[in-house]
A and B are shown apart, each in its own frame.
Chain A
Amino acid sequence: MTTTTTELRHVGVLGLGTMGAGIAQVLAASGRDVTVLEQDGARIAAGRARLEASLDRDVARGRTTEAERAAVLERVWCTSSLVDLAPVDLVVESVSEDLAVKRAVLDRVAATVAPDVPIVTNTSALSVTELATGLPGPERFAGLHFFNPAPAMRTVEVVPGLRTTPELVERLVALVESLADKIAVVVKDRPGFLVNSLLLPYLNDVVQELDDDLATAEDIDVALQLGLGYRTGPLAMLDLIGLDVHLQATTALHAATADPRYAPPPLLRQMVADGRLGDKSGDGFRTHPSPAASPRPVSPHDRSPA
């Protein structure tokens, strides 16, 4: 699967969380060298473990080979030292979804890499244009939005900011198309870009209807999977995304648009306040603690069909 490419051969990835690790994997699998910047050794270790686990799953599922797994790991190099990013051809920012945090990292990185090196953000909820302002050379800045899990999801949104050059957009589309099985979709810098602007209101709507007792969480998922052929039902999808992540994203879009469709439904807030974050906490809409533990209902009104 190794693709040789002369474009953007060496990529710096900022952050080795879920998305950062997935993006590093995808880029390394295309034959590129990847240098990942993380805060400290502990975060690097956690991120590498994530990357290895993801590759192990791919090997187990026959999506990649042992040899390719080893090659990918070899091509991903982690550091906590900013100067190690100096030689990269492209920077992909994937730190936490917080404007101040992203700005601080981007400022330092922009001062380290060459002035013509493109810098892209994997933000899902912040404005690309807003992140670009204040950076030296905002025309080299754009959004490159991967979906979770990055190795599996084909779509990558390419998001030009107001000042992004058309040439950079073309290069990013070409980059995405050089990645195995990925498709580039050029979208506008609007809150949620394309996919999340459609997906988040739908997910909020489902949570509200669950709270309104339309059906059980399982029946809602089964209906949409069997009725519409969706691979994952919306409530299982929310558990996978993380209810806290969804709450943060939809709150940001609500703040940016004042569109009530993005307003977080009360049940979502309650679940997050209660620490029920979905798969990662072992308790969400469809994920439940082991039967040994006392089962908690999904909503106070939850009931099984007779």
Chain B
Amino acid sequence: MSTPTTGPDGLEGRDPRTVAVLGAGTMGSGIAVVMARALHRTILFDVDEANLQRGLDTVHGFFDKSVERGKLTAPLAAAAKASLVGTTDLADLAASDVVVEAVYEDLALKKELFGALDDLVPDTTLFHTNTSTLSVTGIASGSRLPERVVGTHYCNPAPLMKLVEVADGRHTASWARAATIDFLESLGKTTVVTKDRPGFIVNRFLIPWENSCIRALESGLGTKESIDAAVLGALGHPMGPFRLLDIVGMDIHQQVATRLYEQLRDPRFFPPPMVERMVAAGDLGRKTGRGFYDYDDTRLFGS
């Protein structure tokens, strides 16, 4: 696509692409960090000017923190920041080699964006969707060229988590999948290949797991403390299920679980009644200061 160039500090030989990231929310700005840190020409797009500015600030803030913590040199951080621009105009994405869609989990919106981009970008541009609960095939149907659409599901926080789940839609071409895996691995990500099925791998197993832990709590099998402690000490998990739910947010758990349940009609995915009660009470987890546990500090991941 482009010729290798010489960049600062150890990035010689990189092959900078133009990468558009759609949606400046948590996942979109996290993915923008990943792209800009690899010195790809990164364009963060959001329809809302305020959202966009918040997203750009998040990315810059991440790089500043990385320098403070000695994870990134100041020149590299400056180069990364310089490789990022923001826009609210889809037309500015015309030169994109890769588009990563990370807007709201709204099928119509995602399809519409891919359809609109079809008319702006070259036919060889890869379309990646970061959907976690919708079908890759469904989203791909918004493009005239569904063969170029690949599911690439990042984990939150995207800049820190190495895993990306890669899933083909029904019409994804093998070239698009292969190019996607090469691209993700060049970013330092570890890819796993899965199917376009609800929840891919991680959420497919996480959601029933968390639900079963909530049911165990509801049925008096243990307390939140004893279940967290037992899981931590017996299974080698980094944190117990209720600490994790407090970080994820009960609203997010409810949303993901419900969407998976709607597609699978498997009761293991349905959020137990306690979830709805907690959401109604505003006990969403760390972000509201109270979930299963109480928190003095509502910041996540030290950001």
**Which residues of A approach B to under 8 Å, CB–CB?**
147, 153-155, 157, 182-183, 185-188, 190, 194-195, 197-199, 201-202, 205-206, 209, 213-216, 219-220, 222-224, 226-232, 234, 261, 305-306
CB atoms of B208 and A190 under 8 A apart: no
* Chain A to chain B: the 5 pairs with minimum beta-carbon distance, closest first: A231-B236, A154-B233, A155-B233, A305-B193, A229-B238
CB atoms of B236 and A157 under 8 A apart: no
CB atoms of A185 and B161 under 8 A apart: no
CB atoms of B230 and A195 under 8 A apart: yes
Q: Tell which of B155, B190, B227, B234 has the most Cβ of chain A within 10 Å.
A: B234
Query: Within the complex, which residue of A206, A228, A306 is in contact with B237, where a contact is CB–CB below 8 Å?
Result: A228
CB atoms of B232 and A154 under 8 A apart: yes
Query: Is B231 on the interface with A (CB-CB < 8 A)?
Result: yes
Tell me the nearest residue of chain A to B194, going by C-beta: A215
Q: Could you tell me how many residues of chain B have their Cβ less than 8 Å away from some Cβ of chain A? A: 43
If A223-B202, A306-B177 are given as contacts, then 16 extra A-B residue pairs at C-beta distance below 8 Å, sorted by A number, are: A155-B231, A185-B229, A186-B226, A195-B234, A202-B208, A215-B194, A215-B195, A219-B192, A219-B193, A220-B192, A223-B200, A227-B165, A230-B238, A231-B236, A261-B268, A305-B192
CB atoms of A194 and B221 under 8 A apart: yes
A-B contacts, 18 of them at CB < 8 A, read A157-B230, A186-B226, A187-B221, A188-B221, A194-B221, A194-B226, A194-B230, A198-B209, A198-B216, A209-B204, A209-B205, A213-B195, A214-B204, A226-B161, A226-B163, A227-B202, A230-B238, A306-B177
| Distance in Å: Cβ of B19 to nearest Cβ of chain A | 22
Query: Within the complex, which residue of B177, B222, B234 is in contact with A153, where a contact is CB–CB below 8 Å?
Result: B234
The A contact surface, by secondary structure, is mixed
For B161, what are the chain A residues with a Cβ–Cβ distance below 8 Å? 226-227
For A214, what are the chain B residues with a Cβ–Cβ distance below 8 Å? 194-195, 197, 201, 204
B212-247 contact mask (Cβ, 8 Å, vs A): 1 or 0: 110010001110001101111111111100000000
Query: Within the complex, which residue of B200, B222, B233 is in contact with A183, where a contact is CB–CB below 8 Å?
Result: B233
Q: A186-B226, A198-B216, A223-B201 are in contact. Are A230 and B190 (CB under 8 A)?
A: no
